[in-house]
Amino acid sequence: MRKSIIALCVAQLLAAPICLAAEISQDKVSDLQRQVESLNSQVIELTEWLEENDERLDDTERHTALDRIQISGDFRTKVHTLSYDDVTYAPGANVDFDDFAAKAMQGVFGDPMSADSPIGKMMQAYPDLAQAFMAGQLQGVGAFASGAPQQYDIDNDMFYTTRLRLNLRAEVWDNVSFSGRLTMFKNWGDDTDVQVFDSWRSFNMDGTSSGNPSGDDLFVERAYFDWKNVAGSPLYISFGRRPSTYGVPTNFRENEKRGGTPSGHVVNFNFDGATFGYHMDEITGTEGQVVRLCLGQGYESEYGNGELYNEIVTKDTYLGGFNIDLLNDDNNFLQFILFGAKDINDGFKGTFAMPDMMLPEDQQGTGISPVVRYQPGNVIGDMLLGGLTFAREEDNDIKWFTSVGWTRSMPNGEAGMFGGFHSDAVYQVTDIDATGMPVMAVSGATSSKDRDGYSLYAGIQVPVGNGKFGLEYNYGSKYWTPFTQAQDDPIGSKLATRGHVGELYYMYDINPNMFIKLAGLYYDYEYSGSGTPVGEPQSIDELQDGTAVSLLPVIDKAYDINASITVKF
């Protein structure tokens, strides 16, 4: 472009003296010719300089243009019909009855034979407990129920949500790029950002902010940079908030390409950390083979937790392991994942609103739910997670996958308010108030035994006309505990379910950037506590017949019939 402009200017200057030659003297012609020759010499020098610097200038311009952030995204509106069958609320705690009996006999709680003493009032409030106590049947650690189990069905006929995701990308340099995603996920008619604590799904925390509907805030789901071909090698390094959601094979039901690095069967959880990857293609000759060492932090124990009072007993939770794409070509994908979590605490930092029944009687029924900032109170152990996933796309566009997952909990015997690692908290009665209500404190956990959990996940997607039918099934055992809490299923992450889940869906492509999805999910829970490592998983049947207790309500069976429309831009 610069050469064309200069050439045009020179041509105009050369033409001018020719047109006026007949009207000027010979001396002026000679003078003009000398000026033209001088100008021509300068043009030649400028042209040579431009040719020498043309490549550098073009690269600079290209680099400046690509420095600008590219924005893409998707917008989804979804409506659900949710049904919960045989929900059971059997509140209670596990009490050290040996300790209670010893204190009672020592008169710590007053005269057991006096109806006006604290223990006498407690026995009047809990006649079954009094009968068992007088018969000498309260021994060891046992369940202390706060009341008879309640069972009921719940139907939410219409539950609407809106999700907006904005993808950000910028080319920083030839081998350095930035990627990010901002997510807003809200349910209609709600902008409180806090939910009433009726399950672990309702607990707002760092790792689930992108998959838990709240208000109209934009959360940073991911933000990281990639440094590729470090020193000209196949090594790449990446730091930041990781792309750890919607990995294979969960991307099929989302009608999108691979969204996250780790297996979606084992990990669908936001965390901050680093990845060191190495492309093995040239060494092994296997297409798409990548070995990754992934490191991260899941919990910060001190900063912001009142560390200046020097009362912190929890520890930072660190994650580390390998994520290996064994094969990734046009048709096949095979991935192996194995990682560990060190120093898991009895929960995460987060917020929730206190449920009405957990408030003092004089505050119940007011519609006012205090918002609580919760932070863990104890380290409960370590954990290992692994998985193997195979997905294939046939030449006729049929897609199918199978995946197996495994988790191992390694408790240390400690517990917090909500329990230990796959064990319940053991409470000791420290006092009895004037109304006969026991005051209790955590003394330990019901078990310190290592527990193994496993899960199976399979699915198929078949093209039909302008759409595709999909069928998926997954099963989780009693102690199955993946990191998939950011999956945006409103009943709860289907892949964290301790039990069976079946899903049938149809997706119709309106155009390449717009589709409609109709789906139905059926949950059949076998154990409580799906999606959390805290607390002993209790049999749903035992909770229903009153032989077990649970801090939170538990679901037996549930249905989610939903329809959505998604636009990509």
pLDDT, averaged per 10 consecutive residues of the chain (569 residues), comes to: 46 44 56 71 70 59 65 98 97 92 91 88 86 82 87 97 97 96 95 88 87 90 97 97 97 96 96 97 94 97 93 95 97 98 94 87 86 93 98 97 98 94 96 90 95 98 96 98 96 98 98 98 98 96 92 96 98
Token couple for 95 = 């009490």
The domain ranges of the chain are 71-91+147-412+448-568, 92-145+418-445
Written as six digits, the tokens of 533 are 């490592």
- Homologous superfamily of domain range 71-91+147-412+448-568: Porin (2.40.160.10)
Contacts of 482 (CB under 8 A, 6+ apart): 265, 266, 267, 268, 385, 405, 407, 455, 493, 495, 496
Q: Nearest-CA neighbor of 183 among 562, 488, 413?
A: 488
Q: How many CB atoms lie within 10 A of CB 332?
A: 14
| Predicted local distance difference test score (pLDDT) of residue 96 | 95
Max Cα distance, the chain (Å): 138
- The DSSP annotation for 274-338 comes to EEEEEE-HHHH--TT-EEEEEEEEEE-SSTTTTGGGS------EEEEEEEEEEEESSSEEEEEEE
pLDDT of residue 105: 87
CA separation for the pair 132, 307 (Å, rounded) = 45
Write the DSSP assignment of 435-495 as a string of letters: TS-EEEEEEEES----EEEEEEEEEEEEEETTEEEEEEEEEE-TT---B-TTS--TT--GG
Cα–Cα dist 295/307, whole Å: 25
